[in-house]
Structure 1
């Protein structure tokens, strides 16, 4: 029996020029939407970049246990806030990874192969970025994981595809983060490095948020990816 492909998520899209040669697929955090991160595009852009399509999907709306079951945009349910290894529900993670893969496949249909797709995410979106990235047998151009952790504990490390470690990774975390502990981000980076990933790590004196210096570092990292193609 074949499994039906997931319906494509609704997205916000911004193109920096005609016929984009690259795609940055950016996943928002819990309770947010694609519109929440779209304003970052002008802060990222550099004059020497090729044309880029930025795709900001909206997460499905689902009940979130730690928020008393209130329905909100979420990439997965959060059942245990304290235990990071068991915070994410596996079914929700798997569903979201499949939806992200469908968006990556659409980019290939639009002329941007996986080798020129960057997958990025903040918080919950960063967790899905890492979960999807670890499964990739056809490496993406890179992964950006901000203020996040590795969901499902050691399971993703055990199940990682051997080809996945070819993907360079940018990670950044606030040292005062009360939502995703700083140590959770460090553990995720260590787990990726144990598999052979090249991880560029940045720390900022902030809470669960982004800052201008961080966005500047992301832009520098993206520029290096584009220049290597």
Structure 2
């Protein structure tokens, strides 16, 4: 049963079967979506985990939200680095709140982000790796022009990453996923990368991959 919570960001949450010391998975939706999106995957993942899905702070339309504005130009997408930094600040504040509320093991969470939510997951890992057990980046890309300074390269190396991307993605082309793979191979020690014959979406096989990866990476 999903429960709505009001923190610094409105969110939906799914409690685990057993409440004590559950691992916490924070789900960051993409541009134009909302908190009701990724949380629908939770019942297909691990029942022993707690899931929370915050609504991004920027309202675009009715029930459509984003983490930061996107500009559409003849040469591609553009972003305002200052707006990206503000979105990251709000995301980190939310993570700190839920860590205090739920006290997950070691005071850390897993981040699962889709599209723009994957960008937010990358940026959080690059700036606050101390908050994370791992990152699941789905159909995303590196922050590129808004790339933050890596706060702790040695700590970042210890963060496991799962990156999934659709070969036929027409929103963020497969080259974006491959570029993220190449960068992460140089900066992390635990990277799992998969491509699937799908568009800008999460496939059923991808959900199985996520579940298996989480099972292997939950701290015991």
- Offset of residue 71 of structure 1: 10
How much does 1:88 deviate? 3.1
Provide closer, same or farther for how the CA distance between residues 194 and 81 of structure 1 changes in structure 2, counting only shifts above 3 A: farther
Q: Which residue of 2 aligns with 1:167?
A: 159
Q: Classify 1:185/1:83 alpha carbon distance in 2 versus 1 (closer, same or farther; 3 Å).
A: farther
- How far off its partner does 1:122 sit? 0.2
* Counterparts of 1:182 and 1:89, CA distance in 2: 23
Return the alpha-carbon distance in structure 2 between the equivalents of residues 211 and 74 of structure 1. Answer: 22
- 2:84 is aligned to 93
Aligned residue in 2 for 1:112: 104
Whether the 8 Å contact between 1:20 and 1:52 is mirrored in structure 2 is no
Q: Output the TM-score relative to the length of structure 1.
A: 0.83
The separation in 2 between residues aligned to 1:125 and 1:81, in whole angstroms, is 21
Aligned pairs (5 A) from 1:46-125: 51-62=48-59, 72-80=64-72, 87-110=78-101, 111-112=103-104, 116-125=108-117
Q: Partners in 2 of 1:98 and 1:40 — Cα distance?
A: 26
Compute the displacement of 1:218 (Å): 0.2
Secondary structure, aligned partner of 2:208 = helix
Partner of 2:36, secondary structure, is helix
Aligned pair partner of 2:143 in 145, 151, 154: 151
Contact 1:107-1:113 within 8 A present in 2 as well: no
**Corresponding residue number in structure 2 for 1:3:** none
State how far apart, in whole Å, the 1-side matches of 2:166 and 2:188 are: 24
- Measure the CA separation in 2 of the matches of 1:83 and 1:169: 30
**Structure 1: stretches of 5+ with no match in the other structure:** 1-6, 65-69
Contact 2:159 2:188 (8 Å CA) reproduced: no
- Higher share of residues assigned strand: 2
Residue aligning to 1:14: 14
5+ residue gaps, structure 2, are: 1-6
Structure 1 CA distance, aligned partners of 2:207 and 2:32? 21
- Classify 1:194/1:82 alpha carbon distance in 2 versus 1 (closer, same or farther; 3 Å): farther
What is the 5 A alignment of 1:188-199? 188-199=180-191
What RMSD, in angstroms, separates the aligned Cα atoms of the two structures? 2.4
* Distance of aligned partners of 1:116 and 1:80 in 2 relative to their CA distance in 1, 3 Å threshold: same
Q: CA deviation at 1:116?
A: 3.8
User: Counterpart in 1 of 2:3?
Assistant: none
Q: Distance in 1 between matches of 2:212 and 2:73?
A: 33
CA 1:115–1:92 in 2, change beyond 3 Å: closer, same or farther?
same
Instruction: Kindly state the Cα deviation for residue 113 of structure 1 after the two structures are TM-superposed.
Output: 5.1
Counterpart of 1:179?
171
Q: Which moved more, 1:95-104 or 1:51-60?
A: 95-104
2:33 corresponds in structure 1 to 32
